[in-house]
Structures are given as C-alpha cells and as structure tokens.
Amino acid sequence: MADKNPTTAANERLLAPLLSVASSPHIRTRETIPRIMWTVNATLIPVAVWAVYIFGWRALLQIVVSGLAAVITELVIQKQRGVARTWHDGSAFLTGLLLAFCIPVGLPLWMTALGSVFSVAVAKHAFGGLGQNIFNPAHAGRAFLLASFPVQMTTWTKMASLAPSAVDGVTTATPLGILKEATKLGHDGMSEVIATFGSRQAMLESLFLGNVNGCIGEVSALLIILGGVFLIYKRYIFWQGPVFYLTTVALLGWVFGHKGLFTGDPLFQLLSGGLVLGAFYMLTDMVTSPITRRGQIVFAVGGGLLVFLIRRYAGYPEGVCYSILLMNCATPMIDRIFVAQPPRSDLSQTEGGQA
C-alpha cells in the first residue's frame, strides 16, 4: 500500500468518515446564509461610509446602483428558473457591493449596472446559482468591465470630496499606476510614487487611512482590516487565507525590489491597490475558495505569487482581481489534494488514513 498514488489516497480519505456524528438531539447553529451574508455586508458599511466621505455622494450612488442591479438580476433569474427565491439573502447584494468597491468612482452608472448584471447572471447563475459558481462573481464582473471598457475602468477622476481639505496628492493616477508607468520607462518607480505624497511616511499614512485615489473600496486599509478581523472572530473566514496572501505579496515585493534584491517596499506593496480588500473579502469567499485550512494556504500563496508577478512583470498595474480568478480555477484541484481529514482517533482504525 505504500506505493499507491496520491489521488487514490485522497479518494480513500474521502470515503473515510469526515465527521463523527452522534445521535440526536443536536444543537442547531444559529448561523444561516442570510445571517452570514448580511453580517459580511454590515462589516463593509464603515468602508462604504469612509468612501463616500472621500469620494463624495457619487460613491454612494455607485454602491446603490451596483447592489440594486445585482439583487434585481438575482430576483428575475430565480423567478425565471423557477428555483427558490433567495434574492434577499444578502449574497447578491454582497456581490454588487464588492463590485462597486473595485471600480473607479467616475465609471458611468450604466456600466456599473451592466457589470453587476454580468456578475450575477453569467458568473453566478449560468453556473447554477449560489454555491455552484466557480469564479468569484464580483471579480468576474470587474474582469468583464475591465476587458470591455478599459479606458473608463482606468480613468481616475478627482471627485468632489466631502472631506474638509480635498484629497491632495494623487488625482489622475493610482500609486500602482505611477509605479508601473515609471518602471516601464526604466526608472525606479518608488521615488516617483513617494514624490507625489511628499515623504514615505505620508505615503504610507495616506494608503493606510485612505487619502488616496483609486477604486471605491481601496480607500482605507484600516477599515477593511477591522471588518476582516471581525469576520475571522465570527469564524466566517479562516485567518490563514488573508495572512498567507498578504505575507506572500509583501515578502516577494520586498525581496524582488526594483533596485535589486531586498530593496522593495513591503508596506507599500501591502497597502496599495485592492490587495487588502481582496485578501479579506474576495479570496475568502466561501464558495470559490478551498474547503480546508491547508488548502486555503496553498490557494493564498498561489494568489500572492500571481499578484506579485502581475504587479512586477505584467502589463497591468494591479493583479489582485486576476490572481483570485486564476486561483479560483485551481480550487477544485486543491480540494482534491487537501481533503478534510477525520480526527486522529478515527484514522488509526483505517488503513487509508496512514497514507
């Protein structure tokens, strides 16, 4: 039995009892899909409020349009398909909300709505609805918008801010955009980025607290991290996903800097772009990420590697969206390799468990 291939071993583990189930009575968990989904939505409210403060009322409009379009699409499709109508369970609204968080605030509203319809209709329901989709719907919607409207999706207009002193510094390009353009010309990009903020200190503060141009949901790493930590506390997501994802990006960004080995700026890599939002809210999507913690680690490290490769070597300034979509493809394979194992005491009784 020693020389059996890993797939057979994995299949045998699949056949082994996954959980020890005692006889009734059982305690029922109070967690339901609507409860989880609306909680996740609620943790994004601070981010949304801060985004409206930074970008003005237009940001709120984007969020409302995107969320409504997603919910209406879900309602219409569920009615049409004759399946259970769960449009109010918060999952469609979450898709819309997350999509709104990864588009520029100045995007025409009909494009936002179209992206949202695509997210729910094609990325979610064409695959069979909630729990069946291969790709994260919000990021699929963003990829659709980016491929369809490349100009509008990368135009960062300075918006009428509600903040007392309007956003200063970056107005027409995101920090990662400046970095990409500068490195294309053969410069070391970081000095250009830092120059737009004044100092490195100011740059990191802006990125952390949110005084920076970009997508709606990119504004504040702090508020996203707080929301994510709450989700980890509620055990809706594993901490392994975000931690390994962020660590991989920071580590690779530091080691392979633009000026040679160990010259990168890990904090800049961490805080810029949609990385934090992706790490806590997209990468950890229950449907499209691996089931086990070990699987999630592989998934997150792979995603981090892709983010680094795209940011450093590819044509796009930011790679969070594509990194997560690409890793979504690998999820079924990761799940085949890292199967949930029964507790140790059960293992000793079965031959297959020894492998």
- CA distances 217 to 202, 213, 301, 328, Å, are 20, 10, 23, 21
Cα 55 to Cα 343: distance, rounded to the nearest angstrom = 50
CA gap 300, 266 in Å, rounded:
17
By beta-carbon proximity to other proteins, the closer residue of 148 and 171 is: 148
Decide whether 123 or 306 has the Cβ nearer to other proteins: 123
Cα dist from 99 to 95, 118, 144, 269, 349, whole Å: 6, 11, 11, 22, 48
Specify the DSSP class assigned to residue 4.
-
Q: Minimum CB separation from other proteins for residue 82, in Å? A: 12
Q: Which is nearer to other proteins, 108 or 198 (CB)?
A: 108
Neighbours of 154 (CB within 10 A): 15
Question: Which of 212, 229, 228, 232 minimizes the C-alpha distance to 220?
Answer: 212
Neighbours of 250 (CB within 10 A): 21
Q: What's the min distance (Å) between Cβ of 132 and other proteins?
A: 14
| Closest approach of other proteins to the CB of residue 318, in Å | 18
The least CB distance from residue 144 to other proteins, in Å, is 6
* Closest approach of other proteins to the CB of residue 149, in Å: 7
Residues contributing to the site for other proteins (CB under 8 A): 108, 111, 114, 122, 126, 144, 147-150
104: helix, coil or strand?
Answer: strand
Q: Are 104 and 296 in contact (CB under 8 A)?
A: no
Residue nearer to other proteins on the CB measure, 27 or 147 = 147
Contact 89, 107 (CB under 8 A): no
Shortest distance in whole angstroms from residue 158 CB to other proteins: 22
Residues 241 and 235: their CA atoms lie apart, in Å, by 12
Quick one: 80 or 348, whose CB is closer to other proteins? Answer: 80
